Structure 1
Amino acid sequence: MKRIIFTVLMLIVALNLFAETTISRMAIATDIVDREPVGVSETFSANIGKLYCFTEVQTDKFPTKVVHIWLYDNNIIAEVPLEVNSNKWRTYSSKRILPNWEGDWKVEIYAEDGKLIGSKSFTVK
């Protein structure tokens, strides 16, 4: 009986060691409608007002979290933690874009363990 319990515990530990969180879809968009990105592009007008980072996450371990880090000109502008509550989960964050924030932007996505799992660059002009 002890051997069975030990084997089960070792299997649980092994599954958690190899649990992986990945991004299956990612987009920068002007809106989210019915949990889908709308107005997807890599270039946006400086008067856009607000942008969204849509993310579809796949994971072996849930619940978990991911973090969207919005960068402008290589400076962190916002960090947005997001819950992931099933093995395939759609989520998004948004960021107000001021008209004078023209230039290169990027959103990086990190798993709960701190691993970079996705990024998307875009331009505001």
Structure 2
Amino acid sequence: MKYSGDMKIIFTDKSIKPFLVLLVLVLLSAANVSSEQSNAKMVMVQAVMCESIETFQPVNPAVVFSISQGEVFCFSKFDPVFEKTYIFHHWYKKDKLIFTMKLTLSPPKWSSFSRIQIRDEDKGPWRVEIRDVNDTLLQTLRFSMAD
């Protein structure tokens, strides 16, 4: 290498060319991996209705719940999560939307839950639709409330 008066670097060694080609290939490969990760989808690995949550785990998953219990939980677990995002738990009684819960997911993996308090008039069929930020349906959990 020679240094010219205006501080430009001039390469005189012909062996530097393969090094520069390799450097460009490495940089392009790193950019491709980063692009693949940003396009990667989070993966839901578990979704259940349950009686409660303890230490971030569902307790007594079921499809029929007693009104006397007082509440029911929808638990969802994602692994991996590549970037902070949101999911939604849409709670339906029969075919009527009762409420929607927006839940945050953060990398690298995340569990979340929503719950509903149940009363005597809540008997019957229910479902929770779990949707992503683009309103894509990830899973539907069906369950019933009984005596």
TM-score normalised by length of structure 1: 0.84
Q: For residues 55 and 41 of structure 1, do their structure 2 counterparts lie closer, same or farther at Cα, with a shift above 3 Å needed?
A: same
Would you tell me which structure has more strand in proportion to its own residues? 1
8 Å CA contact 2:81–2:110 kept in 1: the answer is: no
Would you tell me which structure has more helix in proportion to its own residues? 2
Say how many residue pairs are matched. Answer: 123
8 Å CA contact 1:21–1:111 kept in 2: the answer is: no
How do 1:53-92 and structure 2 match up within 5 A?
53-92=74-113
Q: Which residue of structure 2 aligns with residue 40 of structure 1?
A: 61
Deviation at 1:12, TM superposition (A): 4.7
Describe the SS at the equivalent of 1:100.
helix
Describe the SS at the equivalent of 2:61.
coil
Mark the runs of 5 or more structure 1 residues left unpaired by the alignment: none
User: 1:62-94 CA deviation, whole Å, 9 max, x = no partner?
Assistant: 111111111111111110011101132111111
Instruction: Return the letter of the residue paired with 2:91.
Output: W
Cα RMSD for the two superposed structures: 2.2
How do 1:103-122 and structure 2 match up within 5 A?
103-122=124-143
Instruction: Return the letter of the residue paired with 1:100.
Output: E
Describe the SS at the equivalent of 2:38.
helix
Mark the runs of 5 or more structure 2 residues left unpaired by the alignment: 1-23
8 Å CA contact 1:21–1:117 kept in 2: the answer is: no
User: Greater relative contact order: 1 or 2 (C-alpha under 8 angstroms, separation 6 or more)?
Assistant: 1
Instruction: Return the letter of the residue paired with 2:79.
Output: Q
Determine what percentage of the aligned residue pairs are the same residue.
Answer: 21
